[in-house]
Structure 1
């Protein structure tokens, strides 16, 4: 049985570990946060008054979510208390809640952002987590889920050698979509992403054209309540 990772142990050096593993792609760990949030901002529809980052960790995505959705209230949740303490210090004025402490009803959200969370969730609990997300989504709200692409050999190598991915069980896109559907959500779109390193900025236009190709470092799935 795979040992569950205790993210409290990595709350102090998460960014450093991430930087070591992804330096070949980008020298800035902020690049990945900005990239994902920009993608979500471009594809989110309708007014966004409340944003939830589920599994926010140390809060590295929070400033970018605040900037992208400047008129919205941004909230973060995670299971790691130590990570949330770091997030609170780095993001004053943002409300953070620990999922392990029974946070109760925190209201509905127009946008739920989930990045690199589901591969840490035991497979038999993933639908339950997706149902939790659905219960927090407003009627016209949208969920964006980002996950590592198991078809990409470089991604698999990074996951296999990363200490905080020791318990990771990667999901194929079809598995992620089926998990969301099993929770009663409607999958609206799914694409691969993270093809071109930022140092090749002249080729960045290819990103939007290659979403069908299963070679991106990650993929994303957009879901909602449906009609």
Structure 2
């Protein structure tokens, strides 16, 4: 694995690099945030009162979480202090905290959203992180993790050429499910996603029937902390 990426180095041009990497699919980086959160909104079993985005980066998902769950208390965490500075600036009224400063689990949350984070975590540390997320969930709370699909050759090419994915080690859905189970989380569902680009929105209905097909750009796994 390559040297660990320091996301403080990419705070100024994160969205620009994302657009360069994924522009063939969508010219708007907001599309990917909206897509994932709308999917979670459809899947969530109960309206969450407290939400955590783990690994929130510069906070580009936060406005969409707020729009989808306007009555929820939302907070974000990350390991990059520079990223959190931007997240606070762009999302006033939202609580953000640096992971290394979080000694205790804090108040339990009903929903944890994680997008594109686990492939940056060294494999030897992933079990520990999964257990940490379990501890932060309230009984009956849900964890949603989105990851790059290692079976998709286009996704692999994007990751190989993206500067802030230099340290990426992609994981298969089976590995992510095993991490959930090892952390005492019940796997409630999983599917591949991001098949249809927005310019072909008339075909978006097809996404609902393609979750079994390992050709989506990403995939998601949903876990539940038993009540």
What TM bracket, shorter-length normalisation?
A: over 0.9
Deviation sequence 1:57-103 (CA, Å, 0-9, x none): 00000000000000000000000000000000000000000002235
Cα separation, 2, equivalents of 1:2 and 1:164 = 11
- TM-score by structure 1 length? 0.98
Unpaired stretches in structure 2, ≥5 consecutive residues: none
- What SS does the aligned partner of 1:188 have? strand
Query: Deviation at 1:6?
Result: 0.2
Q: Specify the alignment match of 1:132 in structure 2.
A: 132
CA contact (8 A) 1:25 1:197 kept: yes
CA contact (8 A) 1:192 1:213 kept: yes
Cα separation, 2, equivalents of 1:91 and 1:110 = 21
Q: Specify the alignment match of 1:90 in structure 2.
A: 90
Q: What RMSD over aligned residues (CA atoms) do the two structures have, in Å? A: 0.9
Query: Deviation at 1:134?
Result: 0.3
CA contact (8 A) 2:105 2:135 kept: no
CA contact (8 A) 1:115 1:147 kept: yes
Query: Deviation at 1:148?
Result: 0.1
Q: Specify the alignment match of 2:46 in structure 1.
A: 46
Cα separation, 2, equivalents of 1:41 and 1:190 = 15
Q: Specify the alignment match of 2:121 in structure 1.
A: 121
Query: Deviation at 1:12?
Result: 1.0
Cα separation, 1, equivalents of 2:103 and 2:6 = 20
Q: Specify the alignment match of 1:199 in structure 2.
A: 199
Q: Specify the alignment match of 1:223 in structure 2.
A: 223
Deviation sequence 1:95-133 (CA, Å, 0-9, x none): 000002235332111110000000000001001000000
Cα separation, 2, equivalents of 1:10 and 1:69 = 29
Cα separation, 1, equivalents of 2:6 and 2:103 = 20
- What SS does the aligned partner of 2:93 have? coil
CA contact (8 A) 2:150 2:172 kept: yes
CA contact (8 A) 2:189 2:223 kept: yes
- TM-score by structure 2 length? 0.98
Q: Specify the alignment match of 1:4 in structure 2.
A: 4
Cα separation, 1, equivalents of 2:56 and 2:103 = 15
Q: Specify the alignment match of 2:17 in structure 1.
A: 17
Deviation sequence 1:166-217 (CA, Å, 0-9, x none): 0000000000100111111110100000000000011000111100000000
- What SS does the aligned partner of 2:100 have? helix
CA contact (8 A) 1:41 1:68 kept: yes
* 2:165 paired with 1:150: no
- What SS does the aligned partner of 1:105 have? coil
Unpaired stretches in structure 1, ≥5 consecutive residues: none
Q: Specify the alignment match of 1:170 in structure 2.
A: 170
